[in-house]
């Protein structure tokens, strides 16, 4: 679909057979992937996220939190923002065997008008995890994310590195 880059940092984007889009940013001099993002195309036939137990459009932020026993961490400057599709949030987790690599789950709340005039009320803070649904997954080099999103982070006190794929042995 697209290919561009400035200097040694390049990005290539593909539309997959499912309709979802995969973009990969890499360092062409070091021949190293820095960032890979799989975006859901919002169609029912393309809900496979590639991560067991998580489906685009069906899994909620609450599911992500339960699966990994934490809210992970967020980049302060890239925590949550409004898009034309709704309110987007980013929850990151370090990987157990490769702590310099993080996975980021991107969730969307489509109809923000349902939140009412005070989105910080107690009802919302207790239910927010049920309102956001998974729309993208990112696997990236943490130092690259620090460079593009800033290195200030907020950690859930229970955040620990996660095992993303069941076949990935900890031994």
pLDDT digits (tens, 9 = 90+) for 131-158: 999 999 999 999 999 999 999 999 999 8
Q: pLDDT tens, 52-94?
A: 889 999 999 999 999 999 999 999 999 998 988 899 999 999 9
Closest by Cα among 65, 80, 70, 77 to 129: 65
Give bridge partners of residue 10 from the DSSP assignment.
5, 26
Q: What is the domain partition of the chain in residue ranges?
A: 2-155
User: In sequence order, what are the beta bridge partners of 67?
Assistant: none
pLDDT at 124 over 60: no
């Amino acid at each position: 679909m697209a290919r561009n880059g400035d200097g040694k940092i390049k990005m290539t984007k593909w539309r997959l057979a499912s309709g979802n889009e995969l973009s990969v940013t890499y360092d062409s001099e070091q021949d190293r992937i820095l960032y890979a993002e799989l975006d859901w195309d919002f169609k029912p036939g393309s809900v496979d996220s590639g991560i067991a137990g998580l489906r685009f459009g069906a899994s909620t932020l609450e599911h992500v939190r339960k699966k990994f026993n934490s809210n992970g961490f967020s980049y302060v400057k890239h925590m949550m923002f409004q898009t034309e599709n709704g309110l987007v949030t980013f929850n990151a987790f370090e990987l157990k065997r490769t702590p310099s690599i993080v996975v980021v789950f991107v969730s969307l709340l489509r109809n923000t008008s349902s939140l009412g005039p005070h989105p910080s009320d107690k009802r919302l803070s207790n239910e927010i995890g049920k309102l956001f649904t998974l729309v993208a997954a990112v696997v990236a080099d943490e130092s690259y994310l620090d460079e593009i999103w800033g290195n200030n982070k907020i950690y859930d006190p229970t955040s620990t590195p996660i095992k993303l794929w069941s076949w990935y042995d900890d031994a």
